[in-house]
Chain A
Amino acid sequence: MAEVTYDSATCIYPGADRPAVDALQLAINDGEFVVMVGPSGCGKTTALRMLAGLEEIDDGSIRIDGKDMVGVPSRDRDIAMVFQNYALYPSKTVGENMGFALKMQGVPKDERGRRVREAAKLLDLEPMLDRKPRNLSGGQRQRVAMGRAIVREPKVFCMDEPLSNLDAQLRVQTRTQIAELQRRLQVTTVYVTHDQVEAMTMGERVAVMRAGQLQQFASPTELYDRPANVFVAGFIGSPAMNRFEATADSDGIHIGDAVIQPSDAQRQAVQGHSKLVAGIRPEHLSLGDGPLTMEVSLVEDLGSDSYVYGHLAGDAESSMIVRSGRVHPRPGEAVKVAVDTAHLHLFDAASGLRLGD
C-alpha cells in the first residue's frame, strides 16, 4: 500500500514573502498516476521535491503509506525520482547506474544484475548496459533514468518534467511508454509538468497549481468540463477557453451588447452575483446566426478544422476564439457567433470561483 497524502504541507524559502507551496492538501491513492501541472513558479516542482525529501516540509506533513515523512531523509523514504536533467552518474556505466540504489541497499551482486537486466529489457536498454552516459543520446539517457527508478520497485515514483529535454516527436512517443509502464507496474506516481497536454493525457487525476496554491484536483475530464475557477478554465484546454466579462440580471446574461438566455439552473447559480466571468470553449461557439458579434483578426487553418481568432465587437481588448469548419471568414470581417449555452461556464468575477455545478 503506498498512498501519498499531502496534509497542509507548506514550504517557504528563506527570505521569500510567500510560501512556495501553501498548505497543499492532496490525497493520492495507491497505484494512482497523478500529475501536478501549472505555470512556472506555481510550486509543483517544490511540492514534488518535498515528497522526495529534497525540500523541507516547513509546516503540515506528508505521509507515505500512512507514515509521516517529516524529518525523514530522502534515502529512507523508498522513493525513486526521475530528474529533469536525468542526473545519471557520469563515472558509472548504465548497468551500474541502474543498480546503484540496490547496491546501497546491500542487495547481492547476482540479484542486482538480474533485476537490472529485467528492467533493461522492459526499456530496451540491454545493448547499452556497459556504456557510460556520455556516450548515449538524450532519449537513451532518459530511459536509463527511468530504468534506474523502476529497478528499485519503490513505494512511489517521482518524476520531474522528464520529457522536457526531448524533441517533440520523441516526447509523444515516450509519453505513451511512460503511461503504459506505470499501468503495468501499478506504482503510485507523482508526475510534474508545465505542459497541460501531457497532464491531460497521462494523469488519472491532475492537480492544477498556481502561486503555491492548489486550484483543483480532479480527473482530466472533470477539469475540462467543470473547471473550479477561472484560472483552471483558462489553463486547461488548448486553444484556451474564451473568458468574457459579463453581468447578470433578469433579462439574462449580458456579454458586451449581447444577451444570452441561461438555463434555469444557471439563472439560479448566478443569483446574487452581479459581476461575472462567462467562459465558453471555442468548440462550443459556432459561426452563424447568434447573439455575439466577432471581428476577425486571424484564421488558423489546421486542415481538419480551423480556429478563428479575433475580438468581441466593440471591445478591442478582448480575445475570442471560435472553432470553425473548412469554410471560414477572412481577417477584418465581422461575423455573428452562436453560443451553445449548455456549455456556458459561469464564474464570479471577484473570487474567480465556479458558479453552479
Chain B
Amino acid sequence: MTAIAPPVAARRTARARADRRKQGWVRRTPLLPALVFTIIVTQLPFLLTLYYSLQSWSLVRPGSEHFVGFANYVDVFQDSQFRTTALNTVIMTVGVVLIAMVLGVALALLLDRKFLGRGVVRTLLITPFLVMPVAGALVWKTVMLDPTFGIVNFILRPFGIGHFNWVGSLPLGSVMIEMIWQWTPFMMLLVLAGLQSQPTDILEAASTDGARPLQIFRELTLPHLRRYIELGIVLGAIYVVNEFDAIYMMTQGGPGISSANLPFYIYQRAFLGFQVGQAAAMGVVVVVATIIIATFALRLIFTSFSGTEQAA
C-alpha cells in the first residue's frame, strides 16, 4: 500500500510548528536550571512539612511517627500558647510596620529636600537596615538598653527614667523598638523612590495653579505615594511576620512566651521540644496566613508597578 504524501502546504505548517516548538525549548533552556533548583530546594520541604503535620512524631523517639490526620491542627488551635504567640505576632507586625512606615515617610520627605551633606545623611539613615540583625539585636540588648550600663538609660537619667529594665519589663516592646530601628530605612527608601519619581512639572503646575506646599503634598504627592506605601507595608509585613533573629538574641521569646512570635514558637517546639508534627502543623498555619498577605503583595507588584506612570 503506498503512503499518500501529505500536500505541500500541510508539510510546511507541520515543519513550522516543529520549528516553533524547538524555538520554544531553546528559549526555555536558560530558565530551567534556576527553576528546577528552586523547585527542589523550596517546594519539596513544604510538601514534607505538610506531610509531617499529619504525623505524630517526636525527634527524641525515632521510629515513633504515625499518622494522626488533623489531630495536630486541633491541638494547635486549642493551644493557648499558640494563640498568645499569634497575638504577639500581630501586635509586633502591625506596630513595627506602621511606625516604621510613618517614620519612613517623614525621613523620605526630609531627604527629598536639598541641604548640605544630604548624601551622607542618607547613607547614615540606611545603615540600620544593613546591620546584621543578630548583631543589631545584640548591641541594642546590651550596649543600648542594659538597665545599668546602657546608653539609653544614661540619656534618660535627667528625665528620671535612669534604671528601667527595658528588655526585662518590656520584652515585646524592646524587640519592637529594635525592629522599628532596623526597618525604617526600608520604608524610607521605598517612599523616597516614590517621591523622586514624581515628575517636577506637575509640582510646578500645581504651584502656578495657586497651591501652597501643604496643599501640593495632600492633593498630589500623597496619592502618588500611595502605591509605594502600600508596597512597603505589604512587603514589610511579610518580612516582619517571619522575624526570628531579634527575638532569639534579645529575649529568647521570654519571659515565658511574652515576646515570642509564631516563627520563634515553632522553632521552640521543633528544636527544643522536638515535637515535629505539632511544629509542622503550626508552620502550615503560618504559611496559609502568609499566602493571604503575599497575594496582596504580588498583586501590587504585578499591576501597580508594571505600567509606567507618566505626567499626562
Binding site for B on A (CB under 8 A): 52-54, 73-77, 79-81, 83-92, 100-101, 104-105, 132-134, 136, 141, 148, 152, 158
Contact = CB atoms under 8 A, between A and B. Distances in A.
B211 A54 contact: no
Contacts, number: 82
Nearest to B202: A87
Contacts of A88: 202, 205, 311-312
B131 to A, nearest CB: 37
Residue from B201, B220, B311, B312 whose CB has the most chain A CB atoms within 10 Å: B312
A132 B307 CA distance: 15
Contacts of A158: 208
Contacts of A79: 208
Nearest to B307: A134
Given A90-B224, A104-B215, A85 B208 contact: no
Contacts of B79: none
A152 B210 CA distance: 10
Contacts of A133: 312
B312 A52 contact: no
Interface string B217-259: 0011001100000000000000000000000000000000000
B206 interface: yes
Nearest to B215: A104
Interface of B: 199, 201-202, 204-212, 215, 219-220, 223-224, 309-312
B312 to A, nearest CB: 3
B220 to A, nearest CB: 6
A92 B223 CA distance: 9
B207 A54 contact: yes
Contacts of B223: 91
A87 B207 contact: no
Contacts of B312: 86, 88, 90, 132-134, 136, 141
Given A74-B204, A88-B311, A141-B312, A104 B210 contact: yes
B209 A75 contact: yes
A52 B206 CA distance: 12
A53 B215 CA distance: 18
Contacts of B311: 85-88, 90
11 contacts: A74-B207, A75-B208, A85-B311, A86-B311, A89-B206, A89-B219, A90-B309, A101-B210, A104-B210, A104-B215, A134-B310
A87 B224 contact: no
Q: Which 3 A-B residue pairs are closest in the complex by CB-CB distance? A: A133-B312, A101-B209, A91-B223
A83 B203 CA distance: 11
A73 to B, nearest CB: 7
Nearest to B205: A87
A100 B209 contact: yes
Contact of B205 (A81, A91, A105): A81
Contacts of A54: 204, 207-208
Given A75-B211, A100-B209, 6 more contacts: A54-B204, A75-B212, A81-B204, A85-B201, A85-B311, A91-B223
Contacts of B211: 75, 100-101, 104
B172 to A, nearest CB: 38
B210 A105 contact: yes
A52 B205 CA distance: 10
Residue from A54, A75, A92, A141 whose CB has the most chain B CB atoms within 10 Å: A75
A76 B210 CA distance: 6
Contacts of A89: 202, 205-206, 219-220
A87 B201 CA distance: 6
